[in-house]
Amino acid sequence: MFLTILSYEFKLLIRSKWLLVLFFIIMLLIAFASHNGNKNVEKRVSDISVVQRDFSEKDSVMLATLIKIEKGEKVDGPYWKLPSAPMTIGNRYPRLAIMQPESLSFIATGQSDMYTHFKSPKVYGNNFALDYAEMINPVQLLFGNFDIAFVLIYILPLLIIAFTYNILSREKELGTLRIIAAQPISTFSWLFQKLVIRFLFFSAITTFILCVTIVIFSSEASVNIFDLLGLFILAISYYLFWFVMAFIVNIKINNSSKNALTLVGLWLLIVLVIPATINQVGNALYPIPSRLNMINEIRATKKESEAKQDEIMDTYLRNHPELAQGNDKKQFGFWHSYFASEKVMEEKTEPLLKKYDLQLKKQQKFIMAFQFTSPAIIVQQSLNKVAATSELHYNDFKKQVFEFSKQWRNYLKPILFRQEKFTVKNYYELPKFYYQNRIKHRIWLNVFILFSINGIILLIFGGKKLVNKLPYRFLKLFS
């Protein structure tokens, strides 16, 4: 019977041009979304290239000057600007920390339009973490980016609603429901099989278009087939959720106009209202401390430390005798005092920065705890992690820059205290930053969660009927 319904449904969809319309609409939507996402990635790569080019040019000039100094040739400019001074290197020629896009970054913009992808930590000032946001168009922030994630989460469910809302009610309104009821299959099973067939057609079309799109826009993505397969199955499990919703509404209401209104209402609730409510509740329960107040407190701490520089210097040299050997304290200047007071500054400002990060972590945990109330949140979080554009990725990038900043300063600090000159050899020994994607996306776990949600909903609203209407032979296999 299933094959008969499949053949009839395929002919019906072909004649009504539904499959053709679906194919072209989904193809245009995903193609345009991929183009937009790819443009964002290209802009990101272009910005990084400009910064890298400027960095290389400055380094070339600096290296040429160092070679001249070592040869004893005359170099123009004041002594404190010469790269032979270690703090000139640390302040005027900082190293570059870059977060390159991943192969699938074009599928979800995520937080990439809000945070910077490169940073040059200098030896002076350790609070650059407060300045990781970029100025962007507020209208774009309000409406989001038209990328593949937007199409999958927001638009495709509306197409599924249009594709499924009146399957049973249309037969009732046309007067053909009695003919269907006279067939050797229950109306419930007939509707279930029709929705399964439409789900298979819809999934096949979207998966094919997504596969072609990813091959066109990211040839490197095919390297990790396992993750790519997880991405496709995640999308399919999300489509299945909306087909399950359509199945329940068709059974419970069975009126075309009411079906459409109910499904659109569910779409608004699940895709817009629940995520927005969770976000607002998270902000209310765990408000982020004011950045302005934090900066003012940090400045006040700095001023307090500057007033006690001599005392701090004595304590620092006692704790680090290797830096004081053979040196007269009177020869130490601003930079020596700065590094001596830096540890005190870090200890005093650490609670402020931790409080800021702690509130962010609490908000993220709150959202993760309630993500199961909306499949849209699960899919959005998963796609952001697969694309490496999630909040977690940028927080980890910030953390890696902090770690690199300490490594960079610790290399220059002994040269400064030993009152040595920075040389060409030191240049080639300078620490370099390499970003590592340390965030696990766990896409297969989210696939399992989505399928579980679908199964639970189906069992709650139609479990008994599904079991009772299964063919006798099928039940016999499990008896």
Using the predicted structure, report yes or no on whether residue 477 has a pLDDT greater than 50: no
pTM: 0.82
User: How far apart are alpha carbons 276 and 258 in whole angstroms?
Assistant: 26
> What SS3 state is found at 390?
coil
Residue with the bigger pLDDT between 365 and 331: it is: 365
- Written as six digits, the tokens of 344 are 């005190």
What would the mean pLDDT of 417-425 be, rounded to a whole number? 86
Interaxial angle between packed helices 291-307 and 334-369, expressed in degrees from 0 to 180 and rounded to the nearest 10: 150
* Residue 18, pLDDT score: 82
What would the mean pLDDT of 21-50 be, rounded to a whole number? 92
Q: Share the mean pLDDT of the chain.
A: 80
Dump pLDDT digits (tens) for 54-66.
Answer: 999 999 999 999 9
Quick one: DSSP state of residue 102? P
Share of the chain above pLDDT 90, in %: 33
* Residue 221, pLDDT score: 66
* Residue 1, pLDDT score: 59
Dump pLDDT digits (tens) for 177-199.
Answer: 667 666 667 777 888 888 888 99
Using the predicted structure, report yes or no on whether residue 159 has a pLDDT greater than 90: yes
Length of the chain: 479
* Residue 366, pLDDT score: 82
* Residue 318, pLDDT score: 56
- Written as six digits, the tokens of 200 are 């298979």
Q: Which of 173, 159, 166, 160 is nearest to 258 (CA)?
A: 166
